[in-house]
Amino acid sequence: MTKKLTYLLMAFAIFASCNDDDDVVTDPGGDGGPDATEINVVLNEVKYQGTDWVEIFNAGTGEADISEYWLCLGPGTYVQIGSVTPLSGNTTIPVGGYLVLPYDLPDTSGGLGLYSTNEFASADAIVDFVQYGSGGTPRENVAVEAGLWTAGEFVPTVTSEDNSIIFDGDGNGAANWAETTTVTNGAENVLTMPNTDVRSIVINEVRYGENKQIELWNNGTVAVDLAPYWLCLGPGQYLQVENATVVSGEAQLEPGEFLVLNWNELGDNEGLGLYSTNAFTNADALIDFVQWGASGSARESVAVAAGQWTSGEFVQSVRLPSYSISYDGEGNAAADWSETINPTLGAGNATVINSTTFTVTIKNTINYLNVHTFTTPVGASAPGPLATNGAQYEVSFKAVPGTKFTPVTMMGNSNDWFLAPTDLAGIDLFPGGTALNNVDIASQLSLYDLGTEADGDPATFPPAGANVGPADPNTSVRLVPGRGTGDIYMTAVLDYAAGSGSEAGTFTLTITATNAPNPAMGASQDNGFVITPGIAVLHAQPEPLFTLGQEDRGVGLEGIAEDGMPGVLYNWFKETGSQGTPLRLSSSLTPLSPAFIYAFNTERDPWFTQGEAAKGSSGLEEIAEDGDRMVAYNYLKDFGIPTELPSEMGPIRPGESATFTIEVPQGQNYKLGFGTMFVTSNDWFISNNNVGLTLFNADGSAFSGTSASSNTYLYDAGTEVDQPVGFGADQVMNQSGINTGAADADTTVRRVSSLEDVQFGKGVINSAPGVTWSGDPRGGYNIIEIDIQPQ
């Protein structure tokens, strides 16, 4: 740390100083021989906070006159030592002596040079140097050139204004300096390391909406027993920590650790104080404070007096009750707090929250719309086949545009052959939007082999008994080769009568035998065609009963194809669930509007609440009445929660899907929400129940599958009067403009607990909870399925 100036002093010659750069002194006691005297003055102790001064020590072997020396901090900041009145000592410093000078120094960082001249940029003139607080001060480079310092080094800033920094007497660099609590200006340095223990507890995070939790953080350096501390909101609202419900952590709080407490008295507009005692009006007892929602809370004045808060300030209210407010770690102002969407209670506020990306698929599962059988010939009193030409079956049914029709009848003189539409998508009842009327559809039917019974054995034809023939070695459903279309065997004429305007029109199918077997010939599959009782299925999706090249599905088609008995298949379609509601028949034929999804970590869905009116700005009315999702999408997105639109455009028709990708934080109890309109209504929509759909299992792992669909329901938004499904003049596909219907007298959002099917004549379907999932064992409206898959 020293720069040594050695001078030879001759006994018979006295060299006088002739300029500011000459450091030579004389030895008054020469004995006729030359003596060497070392002049070595150093910066020895510096106090730069509180009362500022600089101590210079003569470490040489002769007294040193430094009145012409200079102290310099940088350009324009310097002083000649001889012009300063010492606090102690003289400018001529004896060997081992001290000079203490007052000198105004920066409180946090500086670089102080001791110079023999005022050539402050000269490495030859700088005698000593010390830098504290930070590197890069103005004279650092001069000291580095002179070999007195290492670039970038600095002595740490003192921890108290009562302390100084001292030189250890040897070396050049920051490592030769240290902070001391024993200040010895004008005397030998004494190193007493400061006690750096810091006792500090702060309110670090508060969730006052849901769960109502307070996080305390030990941001000091020593453990603190918080058991005797108090939390206070105001008169009569206080809680001692030792009596609080601990969510996580220990009251004996180690440095860097967190204590999370539950306090149900937290409200939306509060001022929360942490106290060392229960003297709640005493500023000296207040440790920390935060105020949110509004100013003027009961303990605000105490916090202001304690310097812990600014009068009138408050942290803005959180947007959702699951959010928290969190402290940035520094300062005592509302600006040091902010809303946290994903609370980190029990961990640092900067904790990184991992996320899981899900693929969510919303599928319109509407398919089976109604089913009818034809079993008794016209004019007959009992079920039976059409065994003579001119014999007829007749069946009537209601349907609306978009419906596909699949009639099935057995070739009664076969083992397992049946007629069904050539087009496996079914016969369109309204091609080009016009109903089939007085149209023979027999040419649109083909003969199929079900693959369940060996062919060509008249002994096992009906009426030999049900399911009596040997198995077919080829179990695949297939076309019977060389047999042409149904018009070879029958006519099948569809007639149509339009509906009243508030319900669907009616089709009548008349099947007439035209190729009955020759009674003079033995029964065989080459002797005409016996038409048996059969079934007519109304559906929306292709392949309602079978798939070419695959085995029979085992739900009852075998009973028709082998024995002309449609009862098993009919009953399968008509089966009801545990609540007496259809398991397979969909309530209605409707597209679903373009959908959106979101994830929320509140206890209840933030979009809507069952039993309450729709929120005015939520977009619920727009999607439920007109299929417009964007208002709702933006409403939820503005909360900061994950909100997504699908990759596909347009409505979701039966059999179609919308696919979404959504990234969701882990460990935050996020659930899935969605919304889509039931289009053939005035204000019905499909969504989740108010607690949302599962995204994470109880162990934190990602959920996968479709079972969460059991929590999807059909809702009435309560914004428009209901009209018959699909036939309302004010429904979106019929109305002249948006929002044209009359207001609903019941404005609450509620489940659609019953639905009258005026499209297909199934009557009133009752589902008290409004079940929509086609896989729900309770039965319901059979409209939708949600598939959730983590990536």
Residues 654-685: pLDDT tens digits? 999 999 999 999 999 999 999 999 999 999 99
pLDDT of residue 5: 32
Residue 298 has pLDDT above 90, yes or no: yes
Residue 267 has pLDDT above 60, yes or no: yes
Q: Name the band, by pLDDT with cuts 50, 70 and 90, for residue 462.
A: confident
Q: Which is nearest to 154 in space by CA: 177, 138, 171?
A: 177
Q: Given 145, 180, 215, which residue is the final one in a domain? A: 180
| Structural domain includes residue 20 | yes
| Structural domain includes residue 371 | no
pLDDT of residue 196: 78
Residue 2 has pLDDT above 90, yes or no: no
In eight-state DSSP terms, residue 576 is B
| Structural domain includes residue 189 | no
Q: What is the mean pLDDT of residues 245-265?
A: 97
Cα gap 634→623, rounded to integer Å: 12
Are residue 617 and residue 758 in the same domain, yes or no? yes
Structural domain of residue 521, as residue ranges? 376-565
Are residue 531 and residue 601 in the same domain, yes or no? no
Residue 422 has pLDDT above 90, yes or no: yes
Cα gap 126→101, rounded to integer Å: 18
Q: Given 180, 210, 233, which residue is the final one in a domain? A: 180
Are residue 639 and residue 730 in the same domain, yes or no? yes
Residue 440 has pLDDT above 50, yes or no: yes
Token pair 């959010």 is at which residue? Answer: 323
Residue 31 has pLDDT above 70, yes or no: no
Q: Which residues pair with 155 in a beta bridge?
A: 132
pLDDT of 75-105, one tens digit each?
Answer: 999 999 999 999 999 999 999 999 999 999 9
Are residue 407 and residue 492 in the same domain, yes or no? yes
pLDDT of residue 17: 29
CB distance 638 to 600 below 8 Å: no
pLDDT of residue 464: 65
Residue 392's CB is within 10 A of a number of other CB atoms, namely 18
Q: Given 565, 585, 607, which residue is the final one in a domain? A: 565
Q: Which is nearest to 471 in space by CA: 463, 460, 479, 481?
A: 460
pTM metric for this prediction: 0.78
Q: What is the mean pLDDT of residues 532-542?
A: 98
Q: What is the mean pLDDT of residues 437-464?
A: 92
Average pLDDT, rounded, for the chain: 94
Q: Name the band, by pLDDT with cuts 50, 70 and 90, for residue 35.
A: low
Burial 324-341 (b: 16+ CB within 10 A, else e): bbbbeeeebebeebebbb
CB distance 366 to 540 below 8 Å: yes
| Structural domain includes residue 363 | no
Q: What is the mean pLDDT of residues 759-786?
A: 97
Phi, psi of 713 (to 5 degrees): -145, 160
In eight-state DSSP terms, residue 34 is -
| Structural domain includes residue 369 | no
pLDDT of residue 276: 97
Are residue 417 and residue 559 in the same domain, yes or no? yes
CB distance 383 to 565 below 8 Å: no
Q: Which residues pair with 92 in a beta bridge?
A: 65
Q: Name the band, by pLDDT with cuts 50, 70 and 90, for residue 25.
A: very low
Residue 176 has pLDDT above 50, yes or no: yes
Are residue 259 and residue 326 in the same domain, yes or no? yes
Three-state DSSP class for residue 488: helix
CA 541, distance to chain mean position in Å, is 35
| Structural domain includes residue 190 | no
Are residue 766 and residue 653 in the same domain, yes or no? yes
Are residue 390 and residue 276 in the same domain, yes or no? no
| Structural domain includes residue 428 | yes
Phi, psi of 573 (to 5 degrees): -65, -40
Are residue 690 and residue 785 in the same domain, yes or no? yes
Residue 13 has pLDDT above 50, yes or no: no
pLDDT of residue 739: 81
Residue 437 has pLDDT above 60, yes or no: yes
| Structural domain includes residue 583 | no
Are residue 423 and residue 532 in the same domain, yes or no? yes
pLDDT of 186-210, one tens digit each?
Answer: 999 999 998 878 899 999 999 999 9
Are residue 611 and residue 755 in the same domain, yes or no? yes
Lowest mean pLDDT: which of 34-48, 285-299, 594-608, 773-787?
34-48
Q: Name the band, by pLDDT with cuts 50, 70 and 90, for residue 724.
A: very high
Number of separate domains in the chain: 4
Residue 746 has pLDDT above 90, yes or no: yes
Q: Which residues pair with 359 in a beta bridge?
A: 661, 789
Q: What is the mean pLDDT of residues 173-180?
A: 95
Q: Name the band, by pLDDT with cuts 50, 70 and 90, for residue 457.
A: confident
In eight-state DSSP terms, residue 702 is B
Q: What is the mean pLDDT of residues 109-113?
A: 98
Are residue 405 and residue 462 in the same domain, yes or no? yes
How many Cα atoms sit within 13 Å of 594 on the Cβ side? 15
Cα gap 80→658, rounded to integer Å: 82
